Structure 1
């Protein structure tokens, strides 16, 4: 791909380059896949009104296979940074993460190496996964000096810059929706390379995978407090919020009515999210039992990611141009089965939606949803198989990289 500056002139021979905007660096489909990962795995972030998904978190929650979409992107970004900044030294990825800035989030003037514990950072890459004005309001990146002086986020674009005081910058407050980015920091110090830490996590959680394993890709929720989003003396569980703004709710996995009296006095209702449950929508409860709330959330987010493809399949099936075998599903009435979870749904709606929500009026077809559940299993299993194949090569080289298929021994 040819990378050209969109708004900044090429540096002269007497000045060092400090930043570059690369339009269309990521494809729309890649942006959607990373959005799926974040909205099905994210936890409360490192600062107020922020949700984040780090690679170690994915590995630690049984989702190590979801690292695979990041691998080629990390390599391409490192190549872009090394090329533009003429790096004649080894460059390591210090951090890779998905971050969404929600209503009220902002940050004042700073450089990315402005703390003693951040001095190792040499370069920054920020990939925008959704667009200002379409998916959210606010959140403009402003630089104190130089050109481009500001960046209006467009899905697929990336801005790379030095992490030092030549790029003091700020981000305006997000006023509606979610500003979603993939952010990487690069370092010259191998002691801060994130790959060895990731490989340690992956070797502990993914090494034992065998093709015969059933459902080895089922996610395992982290501690409940990691999903609690606090805002102005109130809050909500991110897992509940993500399904609720898309019109779903969590329900008991058995036929017993799950009113507040059925929860033991000493049991935190939020703990029910780590146990088997069902999904409901309106007066319907989907028959499939999910292992936990994170499992259900991933299927819901996968369904919305693939909704256009599923609708197209149904359209073709309707006109008889192809045959699609839809799995058998069961839907029952929801009377009394919704879990008594203490979540502020009104606040969640304010933070996560409806602004920028794809297809807010989307009409659910349960048959399509069941097909999406099967497609999610196939997608997850295929990534898990690839991870099992690649991991020995990564461990032997102590780095995570795109493995050439010709190098894989059968």
Structure 2
């Protein structure tokens, strides 16, 4: 199906199927599921570029760059505003069970009036990865968009394109969202280049690859959306839990720690009655490797013949410590399971259904290669970005 031009004076919009490749969708899904924090609405989770920088994961910005450029070019071409637009916001946003939003325009608040155009890229598929979550325009065509991985919709952010999203009833609906402005004072790139300069200029590539968690309340999800509500779950712990993992922290007692301390402690992965004898620097590090295995699992299967996985049986005293940690970070397991419920298609496509510890060990090394490659790219491109105060794809000869 080719792109569909719905350009009219009343409701200017453009729908483009298969704009993003499957690889691009899966890579952004990986980044979001190992980096996201609580979002702006109940049961919504977000990953912003500034958050990636703040958590020492700025290298994950690299996959966004060519996608942003292609989207901006297409938007300016369609709306006939070449060289007029600035990217005001870029972020990954997922909607989980119970999330919805009623009729609105994207500039419907005084502090949002700088937003002139909206772009939504769907990273997974309705009916396969989630149910509910249909996108509706109040007027004009198309009236309803059934999200499919790779599809993109572009539209003006004003009241000519009032829209809503149905409640998610199952799974997790993933999108890449961008807003564009004609006002250069709202260019997010200027701020991002400044943040990148502060975080990367005096760091080696190796030291800039290991993630460091943000404030613990940014990862706390509760039913009343209050970070002070102790009944809920930590997003990082929950995402591991629904994939079948627990976390072990080798400390004498968990009673003396608060959640912030637990987030930065070295951890080991546990599955069932087995513990992998490999120490991750913190929960985010472990989560990134596990999600990388979910993304690349089937490809890693062919490279595991000579890998030795050091797995030991879990002791009763270790089980008790895990229970103590879970009582702090995963004390509403049913709520976590409803929000991050797994779908069989996700497991089959990503290889997690064929879990083995050798695969996780292979993923540790493959993840290191992946992030070092991205880190090298961002260190090489940053000087050019600083000169232009803009993030763009720099062609550098090897």
Q: Residues 120 and 264 of structure 1: is their aligned pair in 2 closer, same or farther, counting only changes over 3 Å?
A: same
1:332 alignment counterpart:
312
Q: Residues 202 and 270 of structure 1: is their aligned pair in 2 closer, same or farther, counting only changes over 3 Å?
A: closer
For residues 79 and 234 of structure 2, the distance between their equivalents in structure 1, rounded to whole angstroms, comes to 42
Deviations, residues 255-301 of structure 1 (Å, cap 9, x unaligned): x6x6xxx2344x32563121111010011111110100000000000
For residues 28 and 127 of structure 1, the distance between their equivalents in structure 2, rounded to whole angstroms, comes to 12
Report the 3-state secondary structure (helix = DSSP H, G, I; strand = E; otherwise coil) of the residue aligned with 2:354: coil
1:230 alignment counterpart:
222
For residues 305 and 88 of structure 1, the distance between their equivalents in structure 2, rounded to whole angstroms, comes to 36
Deviations, residues 303-360 of structure 1 (Å, cap 9, x unaligned): 110011123445xxxxxxxxx542x331111223243232122221111112366217
Report the 3-state secondary structure (helix = DSSP H, G, I; strand = E; otherwise coil) of the residue aligned with 2:196: helix
For residues 182 and 291 of structure 1, the distance between their equivalents in structure 2, rounded to whole angstroms, comes to 29
Residue pair 2:105, 2:158 contacting (<8 A) in 1 also: yes
Pairing of 1:352-391 with structure 2 (within 5 A)? 352-355=340-343, 358-359=346-347, 362-391=353-382
For residues 119 and 50 of structure 1, the distance between their equivalents in structure 2, rounded to whole angstroms, comes to 23
1:90 equivalent to 2:80? Answer no
* Number of residue pairs aligned between Structure 1 and Structure 2: 382
For residues 130 and 184 of structure 1, the distance between their equivalents in structure 2, rounded to whole angstroms, comes to 17
For residues 311 and 263 of structure 2, the distance between their equivalents in structure 1, rounded to whole angstroms, comes to 21
1:241 alignment counterpart:
238
1:81 equivalent to 2:75? Answer yes
2:197 alignment counterpart:
203
Offset, 1:17: 6.2
2:211 alignment counterpart:
219
1:48 alignment counterpart:
42
1:177 to 146, 171, 179: 171
1:141 alignment counterpart:
135
Report the 3-state secondary structure (helix = DSSP H, G, I; strand = E; otherwise coil) of the residue aligned with 1:20: strand
Residue pair 2:7, 2:13 contacting (<8 A) in 1 also: no
Deviations, residues 55-90 of structure 1 (Å, cap 9, x unaligned): 000001100000000000000000110011111452
1:310 equivalent to 2:300? Answer yes
Residue pair 1:136, 1:356 contacting (<8 A) in 2 also: no
For residues 76 and 208 of structure 2, the distance between their equivalents in structure 1, rounded to whole angstroms, comes to 38
Offset, 1:215: 4.4
Deviations, residues 218-275 of structure 1 (Å, cap 9, x unaligned): 00000111000111574110001010010111002x4x6x6xxx2344x325631211
Q: Residues 185 and 290 of structure 1: is their aligned pair in 2 closer, same or farther, counting only changes over 3 Å?
A: same
Unaligned 5+ runs, structure 1:
315-323
Report the 3-state secondary structure (helix = DSSP H, G, I; strand = E; otherwise coil) of the residue aligned with 2:293: helix
Report the 3-state secondary structure (helix = DSSP H, G, I; strand = E; otherwise coil) of the residue aligned with 1:358: helix
| Of 218-227 and 270-279, the range deviating more from structure 2 | 270-279
Q: Residues 389 and 142 of structure 1: is their aligned pair in 2 closer, same or farther, counting only changes over 3 Å?
A: same
Offset, 1:182: 0.2
Residue pair 2:265, 2:282 contacting (<8 A) in 1 also: yes
Residue pair 2:11, 2:161 contacting (<8 A) in 1 also: no
**Which is richer in helix?**
2
Residue pair 1:104, 1:173 contacting (<8 A) in 2 also: yes
**TM-score of the two chains, using structure 1 as the length reference:** 0.89
For residues 72 and 208 of structure 2, the distance between their equivalents in structure 1, rounded to whole angstroms, comes to 32
For residues 33 and 122 of structure 2, the distance between their equivalents in structure 1, rounded to whole angstroms, comes to 15
Report the 3-state secondary structure (helix = DSSP H, G, I; strand = E; otherwise coil) of the residue aligned with 2:338: helix
2:267 alignment counterpart:
277
Q: Residues 61 and 158 of structure 1: is their aligned pair in 2 closer, same or farther, counting only changes over 3 Å?
A: same
For residues 335 and 213 of structure 2, the distance between their equivalents in structure 1, rounded to whole angstroms, comes to 23
Residue pair 2:123, 2:150 contacting (<8 A) in 1 also: yes
Unaligned 5+ runs, structure 2:
none
Residue pair 2:128, 2:345 contacting (<8 A) in 1 also: no
Residue pair 1:124, 1:160 contacting (<8 A) in 2 also: yes
2:384 to 365, 371, 393: 393
